[in-house]
Structure 1
Amino acid sequence: MTTTYDRLFIGGSWVKPSDPELLDIRSPHDQSVVGRAAQAQPADVDRAVAAARTSFEAGAWSGTPPHERLAVLRRYNELRERNAEKVAELITAENGSAAWFTLAGQGGLSRQANAYFKAAENFDWEAVLVPSDPASPFRSIVRREAIGVVAAVIPWNSPFSAANAKIIPALLAGNSVVLKVSPENSLSMGFLAELLERSGLPQGVISVLPADRATSEYLISHPDIDKIAFTGSTRAGRTIASIAGQQLKRVSLELGGKSAALILPDADLQQAVHGLKFSSLLNNGEACIAQVRILAPRSRYEEVVTALKELVESLKVGDPLAQDTFIGPMIRRDHQQRVRDYIRAGIEEGARLITGGSHIPAGLEAGNYVTPTLFADVDNSMRIAQEEIFGPVLVVIAYDDEDDAVRIANDSEYGLSGGVWSADTDHALSVARRLRTGTVTVNGAPIGFDGPFGGFKTSGIGREYGAVGLGTYTEYKTITTI
């Protein structure tokens, strides 16, 4: 049974698209059609932006008190929680993400939302400043107000998480939003639109548009967009930053990564390898935060390689709907080929292939599958160590001492995530503080949602999550009075 969305969700209503042709959404597992959906064109973007602008200028949502906005977003999150299994099933069907990952991720979505709700409850929407000069007869009121119309553009790999990271804080702050999603996610994001429709948002406040890259660029270039919030590749981020700079739009960018996991000499290797199963190979390796550069001390190098080999070879690859599948297919044929090309490049560069390779797993030729691959004897200058592969490919790099490990970890254009493993937590924290990256986990602790998330260097501009993430969707206004 397939799911069909033959209408677009624009300004809170389901309307006929300007192009009636529907896109077939195919399973990455076997290429079967799992759904069909309308795709937005520039004319649809114009309608969505106009609806957002009208609603914002009228104060239909921006003029609503923060506690009332919070109540509506809580209602949306409750609807999502009640439909968690359906959300997970749709993402697995269209993305190829393994069922264990999509279902487990629903709990993460709740924690993500609750962190924003807590931040909104305690946010200084308006504050009176104490004058620095006690004799001053003037006082200043500092307000945090909505920016305006937000274009939120998200990738295909984790659609609900990426969408919530943007629409929840943007809406809590009083903005109107046009959410542009990838064509591959037309089904899960169509369902997201249904949940938003039922949550009680005023007309015009939000639109959900599946569309290609050309239409996405049309959206972010639109003169009535006040802020761009983007998650995706660093290359696309550069283009968006250029457009935002030319038009002086507010912009936040969560971009790529090539994160390192530092295994210190005293680390419990069994614990570390079990943790790396999830921090390095989550979501089929199609995750910007994946810790895919494994830094191992020379004194334990072969021990680490052997343990990782056993891990990689133990992971079941196959139908993402099967409960015991850990790694499913890549999202598209072209991406499957891209990952396989990187594996070939690693062999050509002289890395030692420990397990895996560029062949397609036997019996899975109909899908977009890649054999999970582990390389050893990798120099950090190699392409497989420097470029984001976005697939189940790990590289093990040897280091001489702690300073060398930190140097190698920081020797990257990216700086999104990272990890440190040690029997001494305090020592691991001291190493974590030396890493030039936006988020570091110690001994497998999960990334929290109360603190800011984002990247150093080419991994992005700005932060998401919690109070900091909420604040990026507001403007400061200072009012001085007697």
Structure 2
Amino acid sequence: MTGTLIDTRDTVYVAGRWIPATSGRWIDIVSPSTEQLVYRVQEAGRAEIDAAVTAARRVADSGTWASVPPAERAKALLRFADAVEARGAEIATAVTNEMGAPVNRPSEVDGAVGLTRYLASVAAGLPFEEHVPGVFRPSIVRRVPVGVVAAVVPWNAPLFLALQKVVPALLAGCPVLVKPAPETAYDSFVLADAFDAAGLAEGVVSVLPADREGSEYLVAHPGVDKISFTGSTATGQRVAGIAARDVKRVTLELGGKSAAVVLPDADLAAAMPALVTGTTINSGQACSLLSRVLVPRARHEEFMAGYTEALDAVVVGDPFDPATTMGPLVSRRQYERVLSYVRLGAEEGATAAYGGTRPDGPARGYYLRPTVFTGVDNGMRIAQEEIFGPVICVIAYDTVDEAVRIANDTPFGLSGAVFGPQEEAVAVASRVRAGSQTVNSAIDFDFAAPYGGFKSSGTGRELGGAEGILGFTEALTIGV
């Protein structure tokens, strides 16, 4: 367990060089497992943001990176993937210190490296130029870079979600400005080291840790052409409003209140491992969390007996302990927010059927056992609002049509799951208004499939191979 100040950084990575930060504002990063200060990072000031945008603007306007053949850009990103992989242990330790991800969870580094290598393999063969016969005249359709991209990254999967934006943008020929979340600002320095080691062209990448003021300055900067943002719906609305002033391109991957529909003929024993994963992943701090579980009324007691028994195997504790399967919440503010929803559930008349308390053992840290409410009406706030913690609503239904109606009765539409016989489950999943659905699984994304939300869960798509890369381009039509 780590609980003392490990490192302090007062430089930022701007256009391929480390330069002093001038903001005078420090981000104190507190370990959620010990409540002790572990890192101090100075924010990028307006001067550094201006310098980064100016350098990126120069790259975009001159076409120096866009003119590099796609296959060569792909090779550069493969070098970057190697550099990230070489720093894997360092990144993983930083992320565990910053936001409490257990060391034994599937490696975020492996996922980020795998994504980078996959997208590089796709980009090398993409048709960035197409000749269209046309109806009135032939045309050349070129996919040109959208320009300077601001990638605004959340804290809950900081490396993977950064590269989900940065890698396709770079492969499309865009320079990128990475804005990590304050809670996980430190691991972005290791990421910047990996970009440096890859030898990317000057001005192509900058990494700018900042809090709200710096983030808004970057998003509103006239030199930025596109914003790719992942975070809360409220902040996404703010980003979209700022972008609209200059008609900037924007991709938003926002909140969720995903439903897991357990069909009447589902094999409950077979479904439990995926349901436990889907309802406790990342201590509940995931936009795709299966936070509403819809269960046939006739099987409600059977389901709860199996589900609570399965939850008993979840080990909540020190994220550096290999036995831990669920770590703490990211911060005191988040911990108190989640506890307020636990209290709210009881006030709304739901029954706290499991958890809702600290685990036995750790005296410090923002730990909370998985919390399961039964007797939930879908109109309750705990069933409608994104909590971003391990608070699960089990909702009984009488017919499959009612289950679909409940699943869709939410302002969100990011993801979800259906458990039951495959053909029926696919049919039900097709009726749910959400961007990604899984059948008998809690893994809601694939590198090769587009990912994003309906309704208040966002706009645009990321991942998806070619679709994800081409999302950072504009179509330029030349009639010939």
The TM-score, its normalising length taken from structure 2, stands at 0.96
Which residue is equivalent to 2:132? 129
Whether the 8 Å contact between 1:313 and 1:355 is mirrored in structure 2 is no
Of 420, 427, 431, which aligns to 2:424? Answer: 427
Equivalent residue of 2:477, what SS? strand
CA deviation string 1:210-257 (max 9, x = no partner): 110111011100111100110000000111111111210000000000
The reply to whether residue 11 of structure 1 matches residue 8 of structure 2 is no
Match of 1:474 in 2: 473
Deviations 1:331-368 (A, max 9, x none): 111110000000000011111111112x4334434212
In the TM superposition, what whole-angstrom CA distance separates every residue of 1:295-324 from its partner, at most 9, and x where no partner exists? 100110111112221222321111111111
Query: What is the distance in 2 between the residues matched to 1:51 and 1:302?
Result: 61
Partner of 1:291: 290
1:339 counterpart SS class? helix
Assess, with a 3 A threshold, how the Cα gap between structure 1 residues 111 and 280 changes in structure 2: closer, same or farther: farther
Distance 1:475 1:335 in 2: 39
Contact kept in structure 2, 1:170 and 1:473, CA below 8 Å: yes
> Alpha-carbon deviation of 1:148?
0.9
Q: Distance in 1 between matches of 2:371 and 2:419?
A: 22
Which residue of structure 2 lines up, in the alignment, with residue 304 of structure 1? 303
Query: Aligned partner of 2:10: which letter?
Result: D
Q: Note if contact 1:185-1:210 (Cα within 8 Å) is conserved in structure 2.
A: no
Counterpart of 2:270 in 1: which secondary structure?
Answer: helix
Larger deviation, residues 405-414 vs 1-10: 1-10
Deviation for aligned residue 1:22: 4.3
1:321-470 maps to which residues of 2 (within 5 A)?
321-357=320-356, 359-422=357-420, 424-444=421-441, 446=443, 447-465=445-463, 466-470=465-469
8 Å CA contact retained: 1:272, 1:421: yes
Q: Does 1:117 align with 2:116?
A: no
Alpha-carbon deviation of 1:76? 0.7
Q: Is the 8 A contact 1:312 1:374 kept in 2?
A: no
8 Å contact kept, 2:435–2:451 = yes
Q: Give 1:26 deviation, angstroms.
A: 1.7
How far 1:20 moved relative to its partner? 4.8
Query: How do residues 18-29 of structure 1 correspond to structure 2 at under 5 angstroms?
Result: 18-20=22-24, 22-29=26-33
Taking the TM superposition and a 5 Å limit, the aligned residue runs for 1:147-296 are: 147-296=146-295
Q: Which runs of 4+ in 1 moved over 6 A?
A: none
Q: Is the 8 A contact 2:278 2:289 kept in 1?
A: yes
Give the Cα–Cα distance (whole angstroms) in 1 for the partners of residues 146 and 25 of structure 2.
Answer: 35
Deviations for 1:101-158, whole angstroms, at most 9, x for unmatched residues?
2x4333322332234223313321001112336xxxx421100010111111011111
Query: Is 2:76 the counterpart of 1:78?
Result: no
Is contact 1:252–1:460 with CA below 8 Å preserved after alignment? yes
Cα gap change, 1:289/1:35 in structure 2, threshold over 3 Å: closer, same or farther? same
Give the whole-Å Cα distance in 1 for the aligned partners of 2:25 and 2:472. 35
Change (3 A) 1:441 1:114: farther
Could you tell which deviates more after superposition, 364-373 or 413-422? 364-373
The range that moved more, 156-165 or 445-454, is 445-454
Measure the CA separation in 2 of the matches of 1:346 and 1:22: 37
Query: Partners of 2:203 and 2:114 in 1: how far apart?
Result: 28
**What is the Cα deviation at residue 426 of structure 1?**
1.3
What are the superposed Cα offsets for residues 423-459 of structure 1, whole Å, 9 maximum, x if unpaired?
A: x211111111111000001111632110100000000
CA deviation after TM superposition for structure 1 residue 67, in Å: 1.0
SS in 1 for 2:312: helix
The reply to whether residue 105 of structure 1 matches residue 108 of structure 2 is: yes
CA offset at residue 166 of structure 1?
0.5
Residue matched to 1:60: 64
8 Å Cα contact 1:4/1:35 also seen in 2:
yes
Cα distance in structure 2, aligned partners of 1:327 and 1:68: 41
- In structure 1, stretches of 5+ residues that fail to align are none
SS at match of 1:116: helix
Q: Which residue identity is paired with 1:412?
A: T
Between 9-18 and 311-320, the greater mean CA deviation after superposition: 311-320
Q: Matches of 1:247 and 1:262 in 2, distance apart?
A: 41
* 1:91 corresponds to 2:78: no
Aligned-pair CA distance for 1:42: 2.0
Structure 1 residue 21: Cα displacement: 5.5
Q: Secondary structure at the match of 1:364?
A: coil
Quick one: distance in 1 between partners of 2:48 and 2:331?
26
Alignment-mate amino acid for residue 225 of structure 1: V
Query: How far apart in 1 are the matches of 2:369 and 2:45?
Result: 37
The Cα shift of 1:182 comes to 1.1
Q: Verify the 8 A CA contact 1:305 1:376 in the aligned structure 2.
A: no
2:206 partner SS: strand
Matched letter for residue 288 of structure 1: C
| Residue pair 2:259, 2:293 contacting (<8 A) in 1 also | yes
Does the CA contact (< 8 Å) of 2:412 and 2:456 recur in 1? Answer: yes
CA distance in 2, matches of 1:57, 1:323: 49
1:433 partner letter: S
Amino acid at match of 2:423: D
Q: Which runs of 5+ in 2 are unaligned?
A: none
* 2:325 maps to amino acid: F
| Aligned residue pair count | 474
2:316 corresponds to = 317
